[in-house]
Chains A and B, each alone.
Chain A
Amino acid sequence: NAGVTQTPKFRVLKTGQSMTLLCAQDMNHEYMYWYRQDPGMGLRLIHYSVGEGTTAKGEVPDGYNVSRLKKQNFLLGLESAAPSQTSVYFCASSYSWGAGWTSNQPQHFGDGTRLSIL
């Protein structure tokens, strides 16, 4: 059982280049999320999805696009990379909301993608 798998683990880009980060989960989770982690800033939500074919903006969506064509996959795209997007990117997934206390489902994280933009 792999859980949440992120591809690639490391990448170096030049300013202006584009790339796609792939997240795959095998837990049949409805919800998926993309975060970026920067020193002293915790994790900040970029985009998220509450189901196949749906996406929504998080706290810091500018410069990123996402797609969820299949339930198990969530893709994060950088159309024109900028040095400010140098970060560690984490994907997470969780079950959907239930009722009451059980509505708070834990998020399961991948091991991250370290992205450097020169």
Chain B
Amino acid sequence: QQQVKQSPQSLIVQKGGISIINCAYENTAFDYFPWYQQFPGKGPALLIAIRPDVSEKKEGRFTISFNKSAKQFSLHIMDSQPGDSATYFCAASTASTSGSRLTFGEGTQLTVNP
């Protein structure tokens, strides 16, 4: 059972364009929503994260938009660059003494054409 659904599976954007990746979750106990970026042959690395009491978080060209009532959140990459070409994973977790158990989405392969 996939508790975090991610779309699209792949995305092609022109340089300078806006890349948008969407995620939806089911578990209302989730209280931490990070995005990870993965380059070929490498492990995922934390890109940006948001908590559910804010609707938006921006770090440079990367913005997370969060809609608690719809149980959806999205990643926006402004002025997309070829160097942004990677696989992006949304994730979610709950605060727990049993460890930070992240539930990942399926991933989106982003290609930014020059």
CB distance from A22 to the nearest CB of B (A): 15
Majority secondary structure, B binding face = loop
Docked Cα-Cα span, A112 to B95, in Å, equals 26
- Chain B: interface residue total (CB-CB under 8 A): 30
Are A42 and B46 in touch, CB under 8 angstroms? no
Residues from chain B with Cβ under 8 Å of A110 in the complex: 43
* Identity of the chain B residue whose Cβ is nearest the Cβ of A114 in the assembled complex: B41
Docked Cα-Cα span, A112 to B45, in Å, equals 12
Given A4-B43, A109-B44, A112-B43, check contact A31 B49 (CB 8 Å). no
Contact residues, B99-114 vs A (CB, 8 A): 99-107
Are B95 and A48 in touch, CB under 8 angstroms? no
* Cβ 8 A contact of A48, one of B2, B99, B104: B99
Contacts A/B (CB < 8 Å), 20 sampled:
A40-B9, A40-B107, A42-B6, A42-B104, A43-B104, A45-B102, A50-B99, A56-B98, A56-B99, A90-B43, A104-B51, A106-B49, A107-B100, A107-B102, A109-B44, A109-B45, A111-B41, A111-B42, A111-B43, A112-B42
Q: Which 10 A-B pairs have the closest CB atoms?
A: A109-B43, A42-B104, A106-B46, A104-B32, A43-B104, A42-B106, A50-B99, A103-B95, A109-B44, A111-B43
Besides A42-B89, A104-B95, 13 new A-B residue pairs in contact (Cβ under 8 A), listed by A number: A31-B99, A33-B99, A43-B44, A43-B102, A94-B100, A97-B95, A97-B99, A101-B51, A104-B32, A104-B93, A105-B100, A107-B100, A111-B43
